[in-house]
Chain A
Amino acid sequence: MSETDSMAVAMMATFILLLFTGFPVAWLLGGVAFLFTILSIVLDTYFDTWIGVDMSFLSLIVDRIWGLMNNWVMVALPMFVFMGFMLDRSGAAEQLLHNISRVFGRVRGGMALSVTIVGIVLAASTGIVGASVVLLATLSVPTMMKSGYDRRIIAGTVCSVGTLGILIPPSIMLVLMADQLALPVGDLFRGALLPGLMLGGLYAVYLIVTGILAPQRYPAVDGNDKFSLAAALDILRAVVPPALLIVAVLGSIFAGIATPTEASGVGAFGATVLAACNRKLTWGTFWSVCTATTRMTAFIFGVLIGATAFSLVLRGLGGDELIEGLLKSLPFEGSGVVIAILAIVFILGFFLEYIEITLIVLPLVAPIVSDLGYDLVWFTILFSICLQTSFLTPPVGFALFYFRSAASREFSVSDIYRGVIPFILMQLLVLALAFNFTALVL
């Protein structure tokens, strides 16, 4: 191993170790980049090595931030975030759940089914996992607990359904990926649609089937509201506007009428209009949506900036070639390499968040996959499905964190962990399907 190779390995190892100190990931990435630049300078100056990573090299981070700034596709990211928060804060999402559960409330397992349907609608209109999980948990958990649902079913359903938004377009994860790989955002959105919907459908089928096989886990609720015309109208009123918004935003992107940035701005506007129609648009709501958007955009871009520093220095140390060499030396055929990469991503997902994996790993592995002759859109979608599980896999699974913070304390860690296992298996099933049947994606 050359000295730069050892430095690259040491850099990655340092980062992974320091991760567990709990210091913010964004600044660890940037800090490790800084420390290894200093180390290279010291080695080059006093130990006669030729690593060639110095302060002027690190200063390229400013140029890279500039590149991030004048990237017009990324403008879509805060706009989709805004749209999500607006739907959340304006109560549109809450109304949706309330009304749909009136339809399914009296079916066996109906409440879980409603949560799934609303989760899919939320996913297709925004994609903020934290907001979806917290919303679904606060609104549905008390009712389901009271009706005597199995705790594992509740936890698994809410956590998994709440994470669908990161896969089903519009998705900020896919916007990030498109930027990293210079792929058209629209292609990724289109590619993720079917696998995402299949996943949601699979959840529903699972709930129905286990409801038949293990009825004791799914009580039927005696509904006290009778189904009436007025109720039906309420439901329509709650469902139609968000549905129209979804069709407008996704439709205009898929039909190529609008660029993703334009669609995101129009979507954000649409969500605001919706809030106004619900008489929920006060200056306070608008302002709280704006500050929430700033905060969330800031922490995503914090990681982006940290990762851009980290990958700059890692590249300077030849880390990309090292990883490429390692992956290429794996004793597998072409598809074996893809499977190996996905397996690594799945395992990384236990510890890292999707943003870090997207920004650090994806750019390193994509050229290898592309060299093997695979379609990058297809691979990126597989990568995304894999990353969606990272929200559900302990110890670092953000959906699990959100669920615990939002749901009552009656859920033990084991309830939650065991509850998500069947859902993770379903995700792996969809991953396998998308792997074998490329038509699902392309």
Chain B
Amino acid sequence: MSAEAPGVGEVTDSVFAAERPAVCAALDGFIVKFNEVLAPLWGVLIGVILFNVVARYAFSMGMVSLEELQWHIYSAGFLFGLSYAVVTDDHVRVDVAQQLLPRRARIVIEIFGLMFCLIPIATVIFWYSLPFVANAWILGETSNSPGGLPSRWIVKGFITIGSLMLVLAALSRLIRCFVAFRQLGTRRA
């Protein structure tokens, strides 16, 4: 089920409850920690918006740089969060039919999905973000607006970091699926 209300219910993993191998624990731990440390950025975003509102309405000052800072923060939040939501299994599933399947089949589906859907698309994003960021770096690309922020490569680099973390989260999950699948096999034998 989707975690549209994360924290309200328990995080239920739709595929397995097996404990994590050390690699996965390290990867997942890093991703979770990374996002948890950055989570209060939403508070910073509120602050920036408030500052902008006050500057605009009380002092008739429009600051393009601060308006740009808003979407820089929001971009970091959602791009890094993508991997977090993989670890916590928050990404929306249509699991009506899945629930009728045996666990073995569900694990196989997960393995195929990770190998042929998530990992490829995340890798494509990661791979093609590299020249995108490199170009911004080489050109010293800045904002198009007067008074905007410089150093576009930083915010463009969020795509690279976010997609790399997504690949890592997917790999970790893939390993866990293989482990769970093997455990299932041995138990049956």
Chain A residues in the interface with B (C-beta under 8 A)? 19-28, 30-35, 55, 58-59, 61-63, 65-66, 69-72, 74-75, 78-79, 82, 88, 128-131, 134-135, 257-258, 261-262, 264-266, 268-269, 272, 286-303, 305-306, 309, 351-353, 355, 395-396, 398, 401-402, 405-406
Contact B43 A290 (CB under 8 A): yes
Q: With A66-B156, A71-B71 as given contacts, are A266 and B50 in contact (CB-CB < 8 Å)?
A: yes
Query: Chain B residues with Cβ under 8 A from A25's Cβ?
Result: 91-94
Query: Chain B residues with Cβ under 8 A from A34's Cβ?
Result: 116-117, 120-121, 124
- A72's contact among B43, B71, B120, B121, by CB below 8 Å, is which? B71
Known interface pairs A20-B97, A293-B39, A302-B82; 5 further A-B residue pairs with C-beta atoms within 8 A, sorted by A's residue number: A32-B117, A61-B125, A63-B132, A262-B53, A405-B9
Query: Chain A residues with Cβ under 8 A from B91's Cβ?
Result: 24-27, 299, 302-303
Give CA–CA (A405, B57) in the complex, Å: 45
Contact B117 A19 (CB under 8 A): no
B179 located at the interface, meaning its Cβ lies under 8 Å from any Cβ of chain A in the complex: no
Query: Chain B residues with Cβ under 8 A from A131's Cβ?
Result: 4-5, 8
Give CA–CA (A61, B155) in the complex, Å: 16
Taking CB atoms and an 8 Å cut-off, the chain B residues in 83-136 that contact chain A are 84-85, 88, 90-99, 101, 106, 109-110, 112-113, 116-118, 120-122, 124-125, 128-129, 132
Contact A27 B39 (CB under 8 A): no
Give the shortest distance, in Å, between B118 (CB) and chain A (any CB). Answer: 4
Give the shortest distance, in Å, between A349 (CB) and chain B (any CB). Answer: 12
Contact B94 A22 (CB under 8 A): yes
CB closest residue in chain A, given B110: A23
Contact B124 A75 (CB under 8 A): no
Contact B3 A296 (CB under 8 A): yes
Query: Chain B residues with Cβ under 8 A from A30's Cβ?
Result: 117-118, 121-122
Query: Chain A residues with Cβ under 8 A from B90's Cβ?
Result: 295-296, 298-299
Contact B85 A27 (CB under 8 A): no
Taking CB atoms and an 8 Å cut-off, the chain B residues in 60-76 that contact chain A are 67-68, 70-71, 74-75
* The 4 A-B residue pairs with the shortest CB-CB distance in the complex, in nearest-first order: A31-B117, A265-B49, A22-B98, A298-B81
Query: Chain B residues with Cβ under 8 A from A88's Cβ?
Result: 5, 8
Contact B121 A306 (CB under 8 A): yes
**Chain A binding surface SS class:** helix
Chain B residues in the interface with A (C-beta under 8 A)? 1-9, 14, 35-36, 38-43, 45-46, 48-50, 52-53, 56-57, 67-68, 70-71, 74-75, 77-82, 84-85, 88, 90-99, 101, 106, 109-110, 112-113, 116-118, 120-122, 124-125, 128-129, 132, 155-156, 158-159
- A23's contact among B3, B113, B129, by CB below 8 Å, is which? B113
Contact B7 A288 (CB under 8 A): yes
- B4's contact among A31, A257, A398, by CB below 8 Å, is which? A398
Contact A59 B128 (CB under 8 A): yes
CB closest residue in chain B, given A310: B121
The contact sample of 9 A-B pairs, CB cut-off 8 A, is A20-B94, A27-B113, A31-B120, A61-B121, A69-B79, A69-B158, A72-B67, A290-B43, A298-B90
Contact B95 A22 (CB under 8 A): yes
Contact A69 B155 (CB under 8 A): yes
Give CA–CA (A338, B181) in the complex, Å: 48
Query: Chain A residues with Cβ under 8 A from B36's Cβ?
Result: 287, 291
Query: Chain B residues with Cβ under 8 A from A401's Cβ?
Result: 1-2
Query: Chain B residues with Cβ under 8 A from A353's Cβ?
Result: 2, 92
Query: Chain A residues with Cβ under 8 A from B121's Cβ?
Result: 27, 30-31, 33-34, 61, 306, 309
Contact B81 A301 (CB under 8 A): yes
Give the shortest distance, in Å, between B70 (CB) and chain A (any CB). Answer: 5
Q: With A71-B71, A130-B5 as given contacts, are A299 and B85 in contact (CB-CB < 8 Å)?
A: yes
- B45's contact among A58, A79, A289, A299, by CB below 8 Å, is which? A79
Give the shortest distance, in Å, between A268 (CB) and chain B (any CB). Answer: 5
Query: Chain A residues with Cβ under 8 A from B67's Cβ?
Result: 72
Give the shortest distance, in Å, between A134 (CB) and chain B (any CB). Answer: 5
Give CA–CA (A288, B42) in the complex, Å: 11
- B7's contact among A55, A78, A292, A351, by CB below 8 Å, is which? A292
Give CA–CA (A297, B80) in the complex, Å: 11
Q: With A62-B128, A294-B35 as given contacts, are A26 and B92 in contact (CB-CB < 8 Å)?
A: yes
- B92's contact among A62, A264, A290, A299, by CB below 8 Å, is which? A299
Give CA–CA (A305, B162) in the complex, Å: 12
Query: Chain B residues with Cβ under 8 A from A129's Cβ?
Result: 4
Contact B6 A292 (CB under 8 A): yes
Give CA–CA (A264, B46) in the complex, Å: 9
Give CA–CA (A306, B91) in the complex, Å: 11
B4, B45, B120 — most chain A CB neighbours (10 Å): B4
Contact B84 A59 (CB under 8 A): no
CB closest residue in chain A, given B89: A24
Contact A79 B98 (CB under 8 A): no
Query: Chain A residues with Cβ under 8 A from B116's Cβ?
Result: 31, 34-35
Q: With A66-B159, A295-B88, A398-B2 as given contacts, are A19 and B70 in contact (CB-CB < 8 Å)?
A: no
Give CA–CA (A294, B76) in the complex, Å: 10
Give the shortest distance, in Å, between A288 (CB) and chain B (any CB). Answer: 6
Query: Chain B residues with Cβ under 8 A from A289's Cβ?
Result: 42
Contact A78 B45 (CB under 8 A): yes
Give CA–CA (A383, B53) in the complex, Å: 33
Give CA–CA (A193, B41) in the complex, Å: 31
